[in-house]
Amino acid sequence: MTVSGETERAFLGVEQSLSGQKWVARLDQAGENKAITIAQTTGLPDIVARVLAGRDVAMSDAAAFLDPTIKSLMPDPSSLTDCDKAAARLARAIVGGQRVAVFGDYDVDGAASSALIQRFLRHFGLESEIYIPDRIFEGYGPNAPAISELIGRGAGLIVTVDCGSTSHEALEEAARQNVDVVVIDHHQMASELPVTHALVNPNREDDLSGLGHLCACGVVFMVLAGTLRLLRQQGDARASEFDLLSCLDLVALATVCDVVPLKGLNRAFVVKGLLAARSLGNPGLAALCQRAGVNGPVSPYHLGFLIGPRINAGGRIGDAALGSRLLALDDSAEAQAIAEKLEELNRERQAIEAAMLEEADAEAVNEMQSARGPAVIVTARQGWHPGVVGLLASRLKERYRRPAFAIAFDGNGKGTGSGRSIPGVDIGRLVRKAVESGILAKGGGHAMAAGLTVDKSKLGDLRAFFEEEAAGAVARLGAAHRLRIDGAVSASGVTLDLAEMIERAGPFGAGHSQPVFAVPSHTLSDARVVGQNHVKLTITGPDGGKLNGIAFRAADTDLGAALLAGRGLAFHFAGSISIDYWQGVRRVQIRVTDAARVR
């Protein structure tokens, strides 16, 4: 419902903002009409109707959209290929008291998935072990030595979560030792399947469930729902006593942190999972919230920017299993101890990241010296910490608005890299194609994030390959780089009531973008640096109304520099409206993402 092409008129006349963007209205005339109809037929406030219309919510679905339910949006688990086989194998392990090993990935999705399965099995009195590989020494996914080790410790069933779809050699080792493997994953994969008892992945070619947007923990939830149903049918009374919905806090955490599209079932997972998270029933999650200084009800922001990085810190620079162990715990004292350890690792990770980012950014600046720069930024250096390269790629992607990879080379010329993308460029496909072309030793991922292994001698070939494959798409997206504005508000009009109305249309994230509002012709009364390069603002309107704002990680950007030097000047501001909780007091604020001088 947006205006397209050259017909787009600049919103507030902003052709080029302080961050180099053209501001345009999100809604065209048809979108405006749709918003009016939604407001009239549902009784929703105009501002909420505009947000829904701008995100392609059908008029007939608007009311239900504001209260998504698992019951209405979750399909039959059997719609997932192999889900029934996986459920039957898990049920057989439960009934037979078989020892299960859970092999997970070292990120938040892997940790939450592993913890969810262990909590589930624990309810049935089943002994299980979580194994998270070391990112540096073992790399991503199952490996044959680890599989043998788990079998040697008595595992009669191995369940891989958030990995395993392409682990042919490792899973062949399990088959050789006559141990069943159930793979529960969501990553893109080739047509050739590894040897497994069951492989549940909505992105396998023969899966018609339409659930390819789920994270791994979401797929695990589906499999466990199928397992509970089967156990109930078999007359196991314990199945009726397990409240799977109470575990949606883990699914919400993984869904937000894995940046999968917040649509359909994913949106219901997050909405209902936030309710579960706010009860702080998971001791590990509660300990992390306390250590991270979470104020107010747990929100997607808290999960993605405060909780997630702390869980990831273990996998990046410490013990990769800390996160999954923490989320699976029932003991509050032990949870507090692990949360403190993750806090220390996160501070260490921040220091490493800052030093590496300075080097990566200098290299990226050199790459961008040409007329338009490379389509895909590829920075690489020997000695970088391989556990932090994903964060570098994310920062570079944000700064230069194009796909970015950061690669850490060891002394033998082996590079471990990670990439982050922008909407419209599928880097998971690019990486898989580079593997097929013989440029990469291995690699995979999904549209927005990918990992790879490359020999130093192939780095030039990789840059050329990315340029050839992505230049057209990146050029088209760059030419159309616009900030879409949902509407205009004044400082005095930004109230707690307004913020609460907007929150009803959330949660916002990938695939369901955060609404952006313009605050036109307001005076910048104050601007100062706080925290880690954030710029705190006070904005004053023509009627004297004041609004607090913050521009995250903006102090060293063109936007931040202009704001810090612009006290007393008039600007158009753009950003998202949110509620800030400080010492138990709720305050409304704007998270400024862009601004333009009033001419």
280-334 tens-digit pLDDT: 999 999 999 999 999 889 999 999 999 999 999 998 888 899 999 999 999 999 9
CA 360, CA 346: separation in Å to the nearest integer?
A: 20
CATH of the domain at 474: 3.10.310.30
- Of 478, 501, 520, the residue that ends a domain is 478
Q: Is the predicted pLDDT of residue 5 greater than 70, yes or no?
A: no
- Specify if 361 maps to a domain: no
Enter the tokens of residue 273.
């999972």
CA 389, CA 376: separation in Å to the nearest integer?
A: 15
CATH of the domain at 169: 3.90.1640.30
Q: Is the predicted pLDDT of residue 115 greater than 70, yes or no?
A: yes
Strands (DSSP E) contained in 185-251 are: 198-200
Which DSSP state fits 424? T
Contacts of 527 (CB under 8 A, 6+ apart): 535, 536, 537, 538, 563, 564, 566, 567
Work out the average pLDDT over 448-463: 95
- Specify if 276 maps to a domain: yes
Which DSSP state fits 483? E
What band does 92 get if pLDDT is binned at 50, 70 and 90?
A: very high
Q: Both 99 and 124 in a single domain?
A: yes
Which tens digits make up the pLDDT trace of 252-289? 999 999 989 999 999 999 999 999 999 999 999 999 99
pLDDT of residue 190: 82
- Specify if 286 maps to a domain: yes
- Specify if 40 maps to a domain: yes
Q: Both 277 and 387 in a single domain?
A: no
End-to-end CA distance of the chain: 30
Nearest partner of 119 among 334, 279, 328, judged by Cα? 328
Strands (DSSP E) contained in 503-584 are: 517-530, 534-540, 546-551, 570-582
Reported pTM: 0.89
pLDDT of residue 4: 42
Q: Both 128 and 262 in a single domain?
A: yes
Q: Is the predicted pLDDT of residue 2 greater than 80, yes or no?
A: no
Q: Is 308 helix (H, G, I), strand (E, B) or coil?
A: helix
Q: Both 532 and 550 in a single domain?
A: yes
What is the DSSP code string of 427-478?
A: HHHHHHHHHHTTSSSEEEE-SSEEEEEEEGGGHHHHHHHHHHHHHHHHHHHH
Cα 551 versus chain centre, distance: 21
Strands (DSSP E) contained in 276-359 are: none
Work out the average pLDDT over 37-61: 91
CA 149, CA 438: separation in Å to the nearest integer?
A: 31
Q: Both 379 and 323 in a single domain?
A: no
CATH of the domain at 555: 2.40.50.460
Q: How much is the mean pLDDT over the chain?
A: 93
Q: Both 13 and 141 in a single domain?
A: no
pLDDT of residue 598: 95
Query: Could you give the angle at the alpha carbon of 23 between the alpha carbons of 17 and 28, nearest 5°?
Result: 175
- Specify if 397 maps to a domain: yes
Work out the average pLDDT over 118-135: 95
> What's the one-letter identity of residue 498?
L
Q: Is the predicted pLDDT of residue 45 greater than 90, yes or no?
A: no
Q: Both 143 and 209 in a single domain?
A: yes
pLDDT of residue 265: 97
Which tens digits make up the pLDDT trace of 387-403? 999 999 999 998 888 99
Number of folded domains that form the chain = 3
Work out the average pLDDT over 421-439: 93
Q: Is the predicted pLDDT of residue 189 greater than 90, yes or no?
A: no
Strands (DSSP E) contained in 16-63 are: 22-25
Nearest partner of 142 among 164, 174, 109, 172, judged by Cα? 164
What band does 3 get if pLDDT is binned at 50, 70 and 90?
A: very low
Which tens digits make up the pLDDT trace of 509-535? 888 999 999 999 999 999 999 998 999
More reliable by pLDDT, 190 or 240: 240
More reliable by pLDDT, 383 or 5: 383
Which helix (H) or strand (E) segment is 419 a member of?
Answer: strand 414-420
- Specify if 204 maps to a domain: yes
CA 489, CA 223: separation in Å to the nearest integer?
A: 45
- Of 478, 499, 522, the residue that ends a domain is 478
Q: Both 339 and 376 in a single domain?
A: no
Q: Both 115 and 190 in a single domain?
A: yes
Q: Both 199 and 313 in a single domain?
A: yes
Beta bridge partners of 113: none
pLDDT of residue 1: 47
335, 284 contact by CB (below 8 A): yes
Domain containing residue 472: 368-478
Contacts of 451 (CB under 8 A, 6+ apart): 140, 390, 416, 417, 418, 419, 431, 443, 444, 445
What band does 31 get if pLDDT is binned at 50, 70 and 90?
A: very high
554, 573 contact by CB (below 8 A): no
Q: Are strands 517-530 and 570-582 parallel, antiparallel or unpaired?
A: antiparallel
Task: Kindly report which listed range (146-150, 346-350, 519-523) carries the lowest average pLDDT score.
Answer: 346-350
Which DSSP state fits 487? E
CA distances from 486 to 22, 447, 579, 591 (A): 14, 26, 18, 15
Nearest partner of 338 among 353, 352, 327, 349, judged by Cα? 327
Q: Both 123 and 230 in a single domain?
A: yes
pLDDT of residue 6: 43
- Specify if 356 maps to a domain: no
Task: Please tell me the number of Cα atoms within 13 Å of 318 on its side-chain side.
Answer: 22
102, 161 contact by CB (below 8 A): yes
349, 314 contact by CB (below 8 A): no
Q: Is the predicted pLDDT of residue 435 greater than 50, yes or no?
A: yes
Q: Is 88 helix (H, G, I), strand (E, B) or coil?
A: helix
What band does 480 get if pLDDT is binned at 50, 70 and 90?
A: low
Which tens digits make up the pLDDT trace of 201-235? 999 999 999 999 999 999 999 999 999 999 999 99
Q: Is the predicted pLDDT of residue 74 greater than 90, yes or no?
A: yes
Q: Is the predicted pLDDT of residue 8 greater than 90, yes or no?
A: no
- Of 307, 328, 344, the residue that ends a domain is 344
CA dihedral 422, 106, 514, 469 (to 10 degrees): 10
Beta bridge partners of 160: 103, 183
- Specify if 138 maps to a domain: yes
Q: What strands lie across the sheet with 180-184, from one edge to the other?
A: 128-131, 100-104, 157-161, 180-184, 198-200
Q: Is the predicted pLDDT of residue 106 greater than 70, yes or no?
A: yes
20, 5 contact by CB (below 8 A): no
pLDDT of residue 344: 96
Q: Both 226 and 185 in a single domain?
A: yes
